[in-house]
Amino acid sequence: MGIINTFFYDTYALYEIIEGNPNYKIYTKNVGMIITKLNLMELYYGLLIKYDKKIAEKYYNELLIYIAEFNDETLKKAMQFKAMNKKKKLSYIDCLGYVKALEMGIKFLTGDIQFRDIPNVEYVK
Protein backbone atom coordinates (compact mmCIF):
# COMPACT_ATOMS: atom_id res chain seq x y z
CA MET A 1 0.00 0.00 0.00
CA GLY A 2 1.38 3.45 -0.90
CA ILE A 3 1.26 6.79 0.83
CA ILE A 4 -2.31 7.75 1.68
CA ASN A 5 -1.82 11.28 3.10
CA THR A 6 1.04 13.67 3.73
CA PHE A 7 1.28 15.83 6.83
CA PHE A 8 3.64 18.45 8.17
CA TYR A 9 4.85 16.96 11.46
CA ASP A 10 5.62 19.49 14.15
CA THR A 11 8.19 18.63 16.78
CA TYR A 12 5.45 17.67 19.23
CA ALA A 13 4.21 14.99 16.83
CA LEU A 14 7.74 13.68 16.27
CA TYR A 15 8.27 13.31 20.03
CA GLU A 16 4.96 11.51 20.45
CA ILE A 17 5.86 9.03 17.73
CA ILE A 18 9.32 8.42 19.21
CA GLU A 19 7.81 7.98 22.68
CA GLY A 20 5.30 5.45 21.31
CA ASN A 21 2.05 7.34 21.86
CA PRO A 22 -0.58 4.92 20.46
CA ASN A 23 -2.67 7.84 19.17
CA TYR A 24 0.11 8.61 16.69
CA LYS A 25 0.55 5.05 15.42
CA ILE A 26 -1.56 5.74 12.30
CA TYR A 27 0.92 8.49 11.36
CA THR A 28 3.85 6.07 11.15
CA LYS A 29 2.88 3.93 8.15
CA ASN A 30 1.75 4.78 4.62
CA VAL A 31 1.86 8.49 5.44
CA GLY A 32 4.12 11.13 3.96
CA MET A 33 6.11 13.27 6.37
CA ILE A 34 7.34 16.83 5.90
CA ILE A 35 9.42 18.81 8.43
CA THR A 36 11.88 21.68 8.34
CA LYS A 37 15.44 21.70 9.62
CA LEU A 38 14.22 23.84 12.50
CA ASN A 39 11.95 21.00 13.68
CA LEU A 40 14.90 18.67 13.38
CA MET A 41 17.04 21.08 15.42
CA GLU A 42 14.38 21.26 18.14
CA LEU A 43 13.99 17.47 18.19
CA TYR A 44 17.76 16.88 18.29
CA TYR A 45 18.10 19.18 21.29
CA GLY A 46 15.21 17.55 23.15
CA LEU A 47 16.53 14.04 22.53
CA LEU A 48 20.04 15.09 23.51
CA ILE A 49 18.74 16.36 26.86
CA LYS A 50 16.30 13.51 27.56
CA TYR A 51 18.42 10.64 26.22
CA ASP A 52 21.88 11.06 24.76
CA LYS A 53 23.85 12.01 21.66
CA LYS A 54 23.49 8.52 20.13
CA ILE A 55 19.68 8.68 20.15
CA ALA A 56 19.65 12.31 18.97
CA GLU A 57 21.98 11.46 16.07
CA LYS A 58 19.92 8.40 15.12
CA TYR A 59 16.69 10.35 14.68
CA TYR A 60 18.41 13.36 13.13
CA ASN A 61 19.94 11.20 10.43
CA GLU A 62 16.75 9.20 9.82
CA LEU A 63 14.57 12.30 9.45
CA LEU A 64 16.85 14.33 7.16
CA ILE A 65 15.10 12.92 4.09
CA TYR A 66 11.82 14.60 5.08
CA ILE A 67 13.17 18.17 5.09
CA ALA A 68 11.32 20.83 3.10
CA GLU A 69 13.11 24.10 2.49
CA PHE A 70 11.48 27.47 3.10
CA ASN A 71 12.10 30.91 1.64
CA ASP A 72 11.88 34.48 2.86
CA GLU A 73 8.22 34.83 1.87
CA THR A 74 7.31 31.77 3.92
CA LEU A 75 9.16 33.25 6.90
CA LYS A 76 7.30 36.54 6.54
CA LYS A 77 3.94 34.79 6.29
CA ALA A 78 4.80 32.74 9.38
CA MET A 79 5.56 35.87 11.38
CA GLN A 80 2.34 37.49 10.16
CA PHE A 81 0.46 34.37 11.33
CA LYS A 82 2.26 34.54 14.69
CA ALA A 83 1.37 38.23 15.06
CA MET A 84 -2.30 37.59 14.21
CA ASN A 85 -2.37 34.88 16.89
CA LYS A 86 -0.10 36.52 19.48
CA LYS A 87 -2.49 35.76 22.35
CA LYS A 88 -1.93 32.05 21.72
CA LYS A 89 1.86 32.44 22.24
CA LEU A 90 2.72 30.10 19.37
CA SER A 91 6.36 29.22 18.82
CA TYR A 92 8.28 30.62 15.85
CA ILE A 93 9.07 27.12 14.61
CA ASP A 94 5.44 25.98 14.82
CA CYS A 95 4.24 29.08 12.95
CA LEU A 96 6.74 28.40 10.21
CA GLY A 97 5.65 24.76 9.99
CA TYR A 98 1.98 25.68 9.92
CA VAL A 99 2.47 28.17 7.08
CA LYS A 100 4.65 25.69 5.18
CA ALA A 101 1.86 23.12 5.51
CA LEU A 102 -0.65 25.63 4.12
CA GLU A 103 1.64 26.41 1.19
CA MET A 104 2.04 22.72 0.42
CA GLY A 105 -1.69 22.00 0.73
CA ILE A 106 -1.23 19.51 3.58
CA LYS A 107 -2.39 19.41 7.20
CA PHE A 108 -0.25 20.43 10.16
CA LEU A 109 0.01 17.48 12.59
CA THR A 110 0.37 18.47 16.24
CA GLY A 111 -0.79 17.90 19.77
CA ASP A 112 -0.03 21.47 20.85
CA ILE A 113 -3.21 22.74 22.49
CA GLN A 114 -2.74 26.22 21.01
CA PHE A 115 -3.43 24.79 17.54
CA ARG A 116 -6.51 22.78 18.49
CA ASP A 117 -9.08 25.11 16.92
CA ILE A 118 -7.02 26.44 14.02
CA PRO A 119 -8.09 25.37 10.50
CA ASN A 120 -5.89 22.93 8.56
CA VAL A 121 -4.64 21.24 11.73
CA GLU A 122 -4.74 17.55 12.53
CA TYR A 123 -4.85 17.77 16.32
CA VAL A 124 -3.91 14.56 18.11
CA LYS A 125 -3.26 14.23 21.81
For the chain, the structural domain boundaries read: 5-123
* Residue 120: C-alpha distances to residues 8, 13, 55, 72, 116 (Å): 11, 15, 31, 22, 10
Which residues face 9 on adjacent strands? 109
Q: What is the mean pLDDT of residues 54-70?
A: 98
**CATH class of the domain at 5-123:** alpha beta
| Secondary structure (3-state) at 91 | coil
Going by pLDDT thresholds of 50, 70 and 90, the confidence category of residue 1 is low
pLDDT in tens, 74-102: 999 999 999 999 999 999 999 999 999 99
Does position 5 have pLDDT exceeding 80, yes or no?
Answer: yes
pTM listed for this prediction: 0.95
